[in-house]
């Protein structure tokens, strides 16, 4: 029986050459050196300077954003036929599964998986082709670069351990003058101990400042109460105030902040607008297992981050051995994934110094290297050894063996 292939959204017939180039980029999505030389990266130097840190990163983000555009939404079943092109792009290119493994996940034949994957590649190429066709020399450059999509595309999450109490205090300080103008007084209740969360503190600051600013402008003169509560799974940031009559129906969290909250992995638990009190609660995942990746290959670091995102892990990266030692001492991560070939201090020296320090000596270390010398790795104190290139299954298996995930 022939499988049903529902049509994708209308495409604008990208050239076959562009489709093949897109496929090639997707196959090297985490190889920044390769992407830097790719034909699709050429001519994007100006955009990369403005929007990101380089043409390779800009090209990769552009394709990942195009893939995300094809998402059918959270309400569509994972194995729904019209969701397969998007899911195959995610599973194969973004998460690194083989086509066979992705086909097994989706419950389809390998032949059908290749057909759906091709349709996904064509759709990504169509999106890029549409962007090229719509680009106009007359369109103001500042408008292109300051668009919501461009701003969101260039955001990167850099999580690290942060105290939610301090984040709230800093946000409160930022809106202090505004609160004084509106005759608002903050009443803050926080636990005596640190409320440690894994988050990007810069992005978290932007979210909290925006929410407090909206609350100040919507609240009646008087008290806005702020509370930080902790349990084993999450930290709850609550905000309570009595709104002005004219603020009835206004949202405290706008579309931009909602997007940032989603990117951070937070949840708006509830917003109760029953009179006379309005309450907003942000649920932030509490301190989970931490994996420190010490590797100067930025593409591999991001790939490992994507492997572990769905397993409640906090992934922190260090591009050098010296930086890795400092982070290891500050964070005391649950595990370290360590490269050997790095500038200034290689992995072997890093491992020896790590084991020589009493506070970092117990940290499990997974050596991940092109050098096929597990015997040397174990003699220097490595817990496990993984040869490069790594696969998602091998990384997860190693961390499960260490009890991290």
Assess whether the region 160-285 and the region 290-401 belong to the same CATH fold. Answer: no
Domain ranges of the chain: 16-153, 160-285, 290-401
pLDDT at position 62: 85
CA distance 317 to 354: 16
pLDDT at position 1: 41
Residue 237 half-sphere exposure toward CB, CA atoms < 13 A: 27
More confident residue, 348 or 273: 348
The closest alpha carbon to 324, from 303, 338, 305, 314, belongs to 338
More confident residue, 296 or 4: 296
Tens digits of per-residue pLDDT, 262-278? Answer: 878 788 876 655 567 88
Is pLDDT above 50 for 3?
Answer: no
pLDDT confidence of 310, banded at 50, 70, 90?
low
Q: Is 401 helix (H, G, I), strand (E, B) or coil?
A: helix
Is pLDDT above 80 for 9?
Answer: no
More confident residue, 89 or 69: 89
Q: Is 53 helix (H, G, I), strand (E, B) or coil?
A: coil
Bridge partners of 229, per DSSP, are: 236
More confident residue, 291 or 133: 291
CATH code assigned to 290-401:
3.40.50.2300
The fold for domain 160-285 equals Heat Shock Protein 90 (3.30.565)
pTM above 0.85, yes or no: no
Across residues 240-266, what is the average pLDDT?
84
- E-strand spans in 110-233? 160-163, 184-189, 196-199, 222-230
């Amino acid at each position: 029986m022939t499988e049903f292939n529902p049509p994708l959204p209308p495409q604008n017939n990208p050239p076959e050459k562009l489709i093949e180039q897109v496929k090639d980029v997707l196959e090297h999505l985490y190889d920044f050196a390769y992407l830097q030389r790719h034909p699709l990266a050429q001519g994007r130097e100006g955009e990369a300077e403005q929007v990101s840190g380089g043409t390779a990163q800009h090209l990769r983000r552009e394709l990942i954003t195009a893939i995300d555009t094809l998402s059918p939404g959270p309400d569509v079943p994972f194995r729904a036929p019209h969701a397969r092109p998007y899911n195959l792009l995610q599973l194969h290119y973004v998460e690194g599964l083989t086509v066979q493994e992705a086909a097994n996940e989706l419950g389809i034949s390998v032949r059908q998986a290749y057909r759906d994957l091709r349709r996904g590649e064509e759709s990504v190429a169509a999106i890029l082709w549409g962007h090229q066709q719509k680009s106009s020399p007359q369109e103001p450059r500042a408008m292109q670069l300051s668009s919501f999509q461009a701003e969101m595309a260039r955001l990167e999450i850099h999580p690290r351990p942060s105290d939610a109490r301090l984040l709230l205090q800093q946000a409160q300080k930022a809106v202090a003058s505004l609160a004084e103008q509106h005759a608002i007084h903050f009443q803050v209740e926080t636990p005596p101990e640190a409320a440690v969360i894994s988050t990007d503190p810069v992005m978290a600051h932007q979210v909290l400042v925006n929410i407090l600013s909206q609350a100040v402008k919507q609240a009646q003169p008087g008290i806005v109460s702020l509370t930080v509560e902790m349990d084993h799974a999450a930290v709850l940031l609550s905000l309570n105030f009595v709104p002005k009559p004219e603020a009835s129906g206004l949202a405290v969290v706008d579309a931009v902040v909602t997007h940032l909250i989603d990117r951070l992995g937070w949840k708006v638990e509830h917003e109760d607008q029953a009179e006379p009190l309005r309450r907003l609660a942000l649920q932030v995942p509490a301190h989970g297992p931490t994996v420190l990746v010490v590797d100067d290959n930025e593409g591999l670091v991001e790939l490992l981050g994507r492997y572990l995102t769905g397993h409640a892990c906090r992934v922190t990266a260090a591009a050098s051995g010296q930086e890795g030692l400092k982070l290891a001492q500050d964070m005391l991560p649950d595990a370290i994934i360590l490269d050997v070939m790095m500038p200034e201090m290689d992995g072997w020296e890093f491992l020896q110094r790590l084991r020589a320090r009493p506070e970092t000596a117990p940290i499990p270390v997974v050596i991940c290297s092109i050098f096929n010398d597990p015997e040397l790795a174990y003699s220097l104190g490595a817990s496990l050894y993984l040869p490069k290139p790594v696969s998602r299954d091998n990384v997860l298996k190693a961390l499960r063996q260490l009890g991290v995930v």
